[in-house]
Amino acid sequence: YYVDGADVTNLTTGARAQSAAFEFVDEVQVRASGYTAEYGGSLGGVVSVITRSGGNEFHGEVIGYYNGHSLRGANRDVLSRVWNDNTKAIYYTYDEYYGVDHENRYEVGGSLGGYIWRDKIWFFGSFLPVFYDNTRDCTYMAYHDAVRTWKRTENYWNWNAKLTAQLF
């Protein structure tokens, strides 16, 4: 895995060790065979990502995404065997068995690209933070059917800054 020519492959697992937000990507190249020596000891293929750059005009965008429980439909019923009688089966909803998730994911950011010196030096910068929270009420049978609330919060700070120059 390469981002702007830099190898970002995790040496232990072989997976990518760094991500690039989709909004910051200009081009993705996938090479399955016949790649050049610059990709060294790649065995199965090469995924190369080129991030966006500035140009002789100013361009920018404001980005916003939301994904959450309020946009989902109802869960389907699940058919399961009764745990103490193999001859019987029951339908139950996922919510009854695992609890109800109240999750929200917000992504709000933007980007700006342009020139510092026309036809010589260009810049591109972007910022796209991710705010994720999940709350679930769970029933714990080990604690005499006590209901506990489980909460999880994650924040990611996706950003990119690029300076490109062609002085001669």
| CB-CB neighbours of 76 under 10 Å | 9
Residue pLDDT, tens place only, 65-75: 999 888 877 77
Q: Under DSSP, is residue 89 helix (H, G, I), strand (E, B) or coil? A: strand
pLDDT of residue 78: 79
Its pTM stands at 0.66
Q: Average the pLDDT over 21-46 and give the result.
A: 77
What pLDDT, on a 0 to 100 scale, did the predictor assign at position 1? 77
Question: Would you call 45 helix, strand, or coil by DSSP?
Answer: coil
Q: Which of 58, 10, 2 is nearest to 35 (CA)?
A: 2
Task: Look at the block and give the residue holding tokens 């006590």.
Answer: 146
CA distance 26 to 59: 14
Q: What pLDDT, on the 0 to 100 scale, is given for residue 119?
A: 92
Residue that wins the pLDDT comparison between 77 and 52: 52
pLDDT, one tens digit per residue, over 91-126 is 877 666 566 678 899 999 999 999 999 999 999 999
pLDDT in tens, 132-150: 998 877 766 666 667 777 7
Mean pLDDT, the chain, whole residue set: 82
Q: Pick the residue with more confidence: 4 or 153?
A: 153
